[in-house]
Amino acid sequence: MDQSPFYRALAQLYPPDRLLTQGVQLMAYESDALTAFRARPTAVVLPTTQQEVIETVRLCYAHAVPFVARGSGTSLSGGSLPVPEGIVIALNRLNRILKLDPEQKTAVVEPGVVNLHITEAAAPYGLYYAPDPSSQSICTIGGNVAFNSGGAHCLKYGMTSNHVLGLKVVLADGEVVEFGGESAEGVGVGPDLVGLFVGSEGLFGVALEITVRLLPVVERYRTVLAAYDSLERAGNAVALVVASGLLPGAIEIMDRLAIKAAETAVHAGYPANAAALLIVELEGEAEQVEQEFQQLLPVIAASGATEVRVAQNAAERATIWKGRKGAFSSVGRLSPDYVVQDGVVPRSHLGRALAEIDRLSREYGLDVANVFHAGDGNLHPLILYDGKQPGALEHAEKLAGEILRLCIQLGGSITGEHGVGMEKRSYMPELFDAVSLETMRAIRRQIDPKEIANPGKMFPGGEAPALAMRGMHPLEKAGVISRE
């Protein structure tokens, strides 16, 4: 290991089994779920307490050493890709649920808590945590906060930002601050610093504690599975459902390739020969759900569905969702490699976007599996390729770029929940003007003057020159943060 003062100090802070420096030890941290990007950090630290994280960040700031905070590494945008000359702060051992208040319907958790474990802990009190990414059984709350994760039910319940009430954070310069609080009553008072931090992709610092909102367990579900003879027709059906005035808990679409992958892996029993499947789930109080269900059925019938199934019990509902949530990982059975995007288009343009993606797929000679959150227009095209073929990755990325530009042209965005990370940096100037980008950079530099927190992510090109900052922290001057 490097014998510089920084690494000597790091060795005093961590025992050898929690300070990883050898090649084999570091290999597991070279990449996140976007495996096309790889980099090896100089070291990985495994803190078990918040104070160790704080001291690590302060060491990094004092010695101008870059750091990347990481949970389970499920990021699909290269957001937790290491910096070769920096370290990784792996947060999985900060996995305690510090407080669960059934009366206030809140939980205070550390960043390494797995998303699904919050719901499991809250279940005895008739509560659950609503954001449900497909990786919810392994992804951690710290990563959900960094990328403002959504999930299948984000149409009705929103993203992570809608469920985080408060944060305790160590900023990149070592200051420990608190945003928001443990009560929903204070939300909306003063600047939304919780909203500023959620989705910042690790550019501001590391979340140490997250206070989340819990919801009462749903009384009744009605889950409808509809098959279509074209992907475009399924996309247009989404607009019909929304135009009817209904607000389902989830609206999801899978195309032929995604259906094939899911069937191969989990045997969900989806309709044979369907070009696309639409999953619409109503949820809430029993009486209201039944009324909405009677309203939904004729809408689905009028949308041109070739087959309609309604889950008759919890087991059938679970099977439908098992296929949908397993679709991403199952695509690996169809292709050795794939690139996934998560651009967003207005719901009214879903059919047009899907038809154009199909055309681009044929033009580039690459299969594209589509599985996505149709309710909020969040596309997830998976572009299949063989990385062993020379130039295959570059060809797939070129198609991915065409899809992102299509989303922008249709009035959408380059990301709905996966984040910009490494992968989409070059498209930021096509989505934002120069003034907006420089404003984002300026905010980042005010909080992280040395630009050591997850550098090289989100912004196009290299990092802007760091600006010196003296004296009191700007947010402290404004009286909106507190020191430890």
Domain termination residue (choose one: 329, 349, 380): 329
The domain tally of the chain equals 5
Residues 339 and 228 in one domain: no
Q: For residue range 420-474, what is the model confidence (pLDDT) as tens digits? A: 999 899 999 999 999 999 999 999 999 999 999 999 999 997 543 332 232 333 3
Buried b / exposed e over 61-81, threshold 16 CB at 10 Å, is beeebbbbbbbbbbbbbbbbb
Residues 422 and 438 in one domain: no
Residues 225 and 252 in one domain: yes
Give dist(CA 57, CA 205) in Å, integer.
8
Among 41, 56, 90, the domain boundary falls at 90
Distances (CA, A) of 382 to 257, 357, 404: 10, 11, 13
Task: State the virtual CA torsion across 66, 70, 73, 79 in degrees, nearest 10.
Answer: -50
Residues 6+ apart with CB under 8 A from 164: 145, 180, 194, 198, 210, 211, 212, 213
128 and 142 in a common domain? yes
- CA nearest to 104, candidates 211, 19, 243: 211
Same domain, 22 and 76: yes
pLDDT (0 to 100) of residue 186? 57
pTM confidence score: 0.88
Q: Which residues lie closer than 8 Å to 314 by C-beta, 6 or more apart? A: 221
> Which domain-ending residue is among 22, 55, 90?
90
In a domain, 173, yes or no: yes
Q: pLDDT at position 301, please?
A: 94
Residue 347 is assigned to a structural domain of this protein: yes
pLDDT tens profile 313-345? 999 999 998 888 877 778 878 888 888 889 999
Which residue range is the domain that position 316 belongs to?
220-329
197 and 101 in a common domain = yes
The CATH number linked to 151 is 3.30.465.10
Same domain, 230 and 260: yes
* Residues 207, 104 share a domain: yes
Per-residue pLDDT of the chain (484 residues), as tens digits, is 567 899 999 999 999 999 999 989 999 999 998 888 899 999 999 999 999 999 999 999 999 999 999 999 999 899 999 998 999 999 999 999 999 999 999 999 999 999 999 999 999 999 999 999 989 999 999 999 999 999 888 889 999 999 999 999 999 999 999 999 887 665 556 789 999 999 999 999 999 999 999 999 999 999 999 999 998 889 889 989 989 999 999 999 999 999 998 888 888 889 988 999 999 999 999 999 999 999 999 999 999 999 999 999 999 999 998 888 877 778 878 888 888 889 999 988 888 898 899 999 999 999 999 888 888 889 989 999 998 999 999 999 999 999 999 999 999 999 999 999 998 999 999 999 999 999 999 999 999 999 999 999 999 975 433 322 323 333 333 333 333 3
Residues 122 and 156 occupy one common structural domain: yes
Q: What is the pLDDT of residue 465?
A: 32
| Phi, psi dihedral angles at 168 (to 5 degrees) | -110, 125
pLDDT at 189: 67
Residue 475 lies in a domain: no
Q: What is the CATH number of the domain that holds 46?
A: 3.30.43.10
Q: Are 133 and 159 in contact (CB under 8 A)?
A: no
Q: What are phi and psi of 480, to 5 degrees?
A: -115, 5
Angle CA(326)–CA(328)–CA(329) in degrees, nearest 5?
A: 70
